[in-house]
Amino acid sequence: MADLALLRLLQLISPSLPVGGFTYSQGLEYAVEKGWVASDTDFVRWQRLIIEDTLGRVDWPVLMRLYRACEERDSRKFAHWSDFLLANRETAELRGEEKQRGQALARLIDEWPDLPFSAEWQAPLRQCQLAGIAWLGWCWGINGQALALGYGYNWLEGSVMAGLKLVPFGQQKAQSLLRSLSAILPEALARALVLEDHDLGGSFPLQAIASSCHETQYSRLFRS
């Protein structure tokens, strides 16, 4: 990957990207309140399940299909996988997060006149964060697997930062967790990349319950 593409990848996965990356807990806040995640050990177990069932069976495979649709200039396929991703967000809260972050990323793209997109690409880009990431990755010449791994690390970092506030654990423990959990991402990605279309779709029922209940949780640090 070229040096400039690497720099663009770092920009795309940076916590400073204004898409609200650290404003959601994806159900973790409710899980902590109910005692389902009460320690760093519980937190690791929770994140590993999400890596296997959501990141590995939905997000990564869909991201790569969106990326290939960009390579093929196939806006219909791009729209299909954007819709598929949104349909696999199991709660109103998770769908709302996906849409809000997609809209934020699309607004950012609007500010870059050297990256215009035609009308048929607009709706998928604005309803799905993953679509914007795939599109920018292709525009910037970022290798698809590097893009997927970077996206996974960005998601993991946001999850660990949420855990730091909620479980809670200290900064040093957060870095240790980030180090150990990130070590399993390459192998999980390798499994995700060989899935066929009919294999896609994951479910983590406890996270879906937590996300649904978080919508009406009395006291919250994170958005719903």
Percent of the chain with pLDDT over 70: 93
pLDDT given for residue 138 in this prediction: 94
Band (pLDDT 50/70/90 cuts) for residue 203 is confident
Task: Decide if 121 contacts 41 (C-beta within 8 A).
Answer: no
Looking at mean pLDDT, say which of 31-35, 47-51, 122-126 comes out highest.
47-51
Q: Does domain 3-10+25-214 have CATH number 1.10.760.10?
A: no
pLDDT of residue 28: 87
How many CB atoms are located within 10 Å of the residue 73 CB?
10
Query: Is the C-alpha dihedral spanning 10, 106, 160, 202 positive or negative?
Result: negative
pLDDT in tens, 61-106: 999 999 999 999 999 999 999 999 999 998 888 898 889 988 988 8
Reply yes or no: is the peptide bond before residue 168 cis, omega within 30 of 0: yes
pLDDT for 182: 97
pLDDT at 116: 66
3-state secondary structure of 115: coil
> pLDDT of 145-162, one tens digit each?
999 999 999 999 999 999
Q: In Å, how far are 71, 144, 194, 199, 213 from 64, measured between CA atoms?
A: 10, 7, 11, 14, 31
User: pLDDT band at 221, cuts 50/70/90?
Assistant: low
pLDDT value of residue 111: 84
Average pLDDT, the chain: 89
- What is the length of the chain? 224
Distance linking the first and last C-alpha atoms of the chain: 37
Instruction: Say if residue 224's pLDDT is above 60.
Output: no
Query: Is 32 strand, coil or helix?
Result: helix
Q: Write the single-letter amino acid at 186.
A: P
Q: Quick one: residue 91, left, alpha or beta (phi over 0 = left, psi -120 to 50 = alpha)?
A: beta
| Inter-residue contact 8 to 142 (CB < 8 Å) | yes
